Structure 1
């Protein structure tokens, strides 16, 4: 049995959650908390396998409850949130604080047809993820804490003679926190374009706010990629794949596509990495961060085979050591490091050609 704690103040939404879980005999609701304080208390007392967490709660918020739970009794948390802008920012903060994944609440339209089945599937997956204790941080959320300068790591390949044209990054489950650390830890004067595929399995409205949240967390120029933009004109920008669109590079132009899914993903990390390998070869850097599955591993290997410098996140810092593990197993990653140390190496590689 998978023991579920529901945290939700709305009686209507609690009813939806109960009805959604009822058909699965392996999902047992062990408690319902109507506010954040009781959520923390019931987690300590009941020790559920997984929690559904609302963000807008009376008393302490869902975000505060998530932080307290992850600091004292770390438990896999699925945020079940609405697409309200204020709630979205709290949701992304919760993901950065240790919540595993997010699912949008029912919207009362055709998109709700498979909502209950998707919830059950998400809970089964989330409940199996190993989470770690995360000490609570009092740092101002507008600027994420920057990691201390890491110990230098030897480089297996010299810095590209012609410089670094682009950095390609892929991430999935646990990505918001890893991306925040990666981007915050880059040198302040870093101007190499960064193209990112972050899997966010939610509605377009839900995903669009991610760019604003990430910009606020990192102080970087974060925006969604626009079709036809020359890569050479995006210096200093952090470009995200738009919701449900592949992003890739062709003829040094950023392109978007609604082509077939890869690894059940659109956007797909492999689509981005493979195009960067072909277009930029040894003048590119590839980074594969935390995430479930194998998307990005083959593309990272293709980048390495074309002469790019490649990184994968290490197991100890990953929320889910899935995608990076696949990359490490097939020899796609030259370096396996936590995000802050990846940033330090990127900074060294991009500055080496100017020395």
Structure 2
């Protein structure tokens, strides 16, 4: 049995959640909470396998409840939220604090036909994730992951980095925020990023604004035909359901078939970067479930690029980085902030501007 705690202040929505989960005999609702403080207490007492978390709650918000849960009794949290803009930003804050996935609440239209099935699938998926005490949610300093013990090689001397390629999935919002915040404002190479977001388009589209607010950087979605040389210092995201590549020095967007069930795919981006930039690129594969990006990172390393994988201690899900480590695709295995520091070190003096 997968034991589920429902956190939702609306009795009608709690009933809908309960009835939807009841269709699967292996999903058992073990408790219900109408506010964040009650949710934190029930997680402590019941130790559920999964928490479904609303964001807009009385007494203690879903965001604060997520921080407490991930600091005190780490539990896979599925955010069940509306696509209201304020709630979207709170949802991404919760994902950065350790929640592992998001499902949009029913809209009241034809898209609701398979909502119960999507809820049950999401609950099953997040129940398999071994979560950590999240570093963003340490409240009073508890749960900080130890510093990576990986040996650090000497900085590479050679080509100037012309582009950074990042890939992330589950846990990515927090890891991306940590890495980008650690880059100085004058860091010039553009950062091209694929972040898997298993949610509706409103959630995905709002991600660029949220990430810009968290990091203070210029973040936007890729546009077909933009020259990479014109993107200095900017963070460019693959749009929802489009592959992002670089060809002949410009951004390309594609509706090609998914790779590893993913579109956008990290592998697709990394492979194009390997072919286009070779040793003048860096690739970073961050937290996430599955194996998307591992082979592409190996391709980048084979073409002389500098490659990184996030270390296990700081990952929400050590899936994609683990696959890269198994392939020996990553020259460095480090937490996000140290990846950023190494990228800065690898830029020759005077080249940051």
Per-residue deviation, residues 76-128 of structure 1 (Å, max 9, x unmatched) = 10001110000011000001111111111111223223221221111112112
Q: Give the deviation of 1:354 after TM superposition.
A: 4.1
Q: Give the deviation of 1:201 after TM superposition.
A: 1.0
1: CA distance, partners of 2:349 / 2:113: 54
Aligned residues: 346
Per-residue deviation, residues 124-163 of structure 1 (Å, max 9, x unmatched) = 1211212222464679xxxxxxx9x9999643772333x1
TM-score (norm: length of structure 1): 0.93
Residue 311 (structure 1) aligns with = 308
- Give the match's secondary structure for 2:32: strand
Q: Name the CA shift for 1:55/1:117 in 2 (closer, same or farther; >3 Å).
A: same
- Give the match's secondary structure for 1:256: strand
Residue 277 (structure 1) aligns with = 274
Residue 323 (structure 1) aligns with = 320
What RMSD over aligned residues (CA atoms) do the two structures have, in Å?
2.1
Q: How does 1:177-188 map to 2 (within 5 A)?
A: 177-188=174-185
- Which runs of no fewer than 5 residues in structure 1 stay unpaired? 140-146
Residue 218 (structure 1) aligns with = 215
Residue 143 (structure 1) aligns with = none
1: CA distance, partners of 2:162 / 2:22: 52
- Give the match's secondary structure for 2:91: helix
Select the residue among 292, 295, 300 that pairs with 1:295: 292
Q: How does 1:185-196 map to 2 (within 5 A)?
A: 185-196=182-193
**Does the 8 Å CA contact 2:221/2:237 hold for their aligned counterparts?**
yes
- Which runs of no fewer than 5 residues in structure 2 stay unpaired? none
Deviating more after overlay: 166-175 vs 98-107: 98-107
**Does the 8 Å CA contact 2:67/2:139 hold for their aligned counterparts?**
no
2: CA distance, partners of 1:26 / 1:307: 49
1:30 aligns with 2:27: no
Residue 159 (structure 1) aligns with = 157
Q: Give the deviation of 1:222 after TM superposition.
A: 0.8
Per-residue deviation, residues 38-68 of structure 1 (Å, max 9, x unmatched) = 1111111111111000000111110011111
1:206 aligns with 2:203: yes
Q: How does 1:1-355 map to 2 (within 5 A)?
A: 1-134=1-134, 136=137, 154-155=152-153, 158-161=156-159, 163-352=160-349, 354=351
**Does the 8 Å CA contact 2:152/2:332 hold for their aligned counterparts?**
no
Q: Give the deviation of 1:257 after TM superposition.
A: 1.2
**Does the 8 Å CA contact 1:150/1:340 hold for their aligned counterparts?**
no
**Does the 8 Å CA contact 2:243/2:265 hold for their aligned counterparts?**
yes
